[in-house]
Amino acid sequence: MPKLVDHRERREAIAQALWRVVDQDGWTRATMREVAREAGVSLGHLQHYFPSRAALLAFAMELTAARTSDRVARGLAALDQPPHPQDVLRLVVAEMLPLHPDARASSRMSAAYVLEALHDPALRQQAGLGLREGRAMVERLVRQAIAQGEIAPDRDPDVETDLVLALTGFTPLLELGVVEPEAALAAVDQHLDRLFAGAP
């Protein structure tokens, strides 16, 4: 009886090969041929699933976002229930920084994605949608904290959302060794402490 091929599983395996190439060698070296070699498949086999590097990158980023969401969900489950909004925001920001191998691979894929999206209209639209969804999630947390009296009511939720997201700007500083992980997390904690300290 012929073996059934799990196409989703094959696509994910190829996407994971792309992650490894980008993580180890950078986006510029992540050619279709190199990804096929890393995945242990022929170039023709890879192109059967992904006709272009942009298509592969788009799928890999969907998978990256799903894996990041899974990590956040596991982290949330480990917090006190219901979790304090400050702890939730810290967890979300920390998972967006390259502080452990999984998050580092996700961060490097995201950087490659943004660079490619600057010159590819379809990727740009997809990337913008994903970033807007992420921002909306953070804004909901900030607004909820204001409504619950955890953050002072005179704080502008739009500005505070943007300031929380700005903390992810530590990524290149961490990647290039300019800032140590402990220092980045200390800055994140201090910002969140100040944000939540203003509540009556």
| 126 band by pLDDT with thresholds 50, 70 and 90 | confident
Residue 120 predicted with pLDDT over 80: yes
Average pLDDT, the chain: 91
CATH number for the region 53-197 comes to 1.10.357.10
pLDDT in tens, 31-76: 999 999 999 999 999 999 999 998 999 999 888 888 888 999 999 9
Q: CATH topology of 1-51 equal to that of 53-197?
A: no
User: CA–CA separation, 16 vs 38, rounded Å?
Assistant: 9
DSSP string, 71-88: HHHHHHHTS-SSPPHHHH
The class (CATH top level) of 1-51 is mainly alpha
First to last CA, the chain: 69
Angle at 120 between CA 117 and CA 122, to 5 degrees: 90
Question: Torsion angle, CA of 68/69/74/79, rounded to 10 degrees?
Answer: 110
Backbone angles phi, psi at 3, to 5 degrees: -75, 130
Q: Rounded mean pLDDT of 146-159?
A: 95
Q: Where are the domains of the chain?
A: 1-51, 53-197
Length of the chain measured in residues: 200
Which CA distances in Å does 68 have to 2, 62, 110? 35, 10, 11
Q: Measured between alpha carbons, how far is 72 from 158 in angstroms, rounded to an integer?
A: 23
In this structure, are residues 41 and 50 in contact, taking their beta carbons and an 8 Å threshold?
no
pLDDT at residue 149 above 90? yes
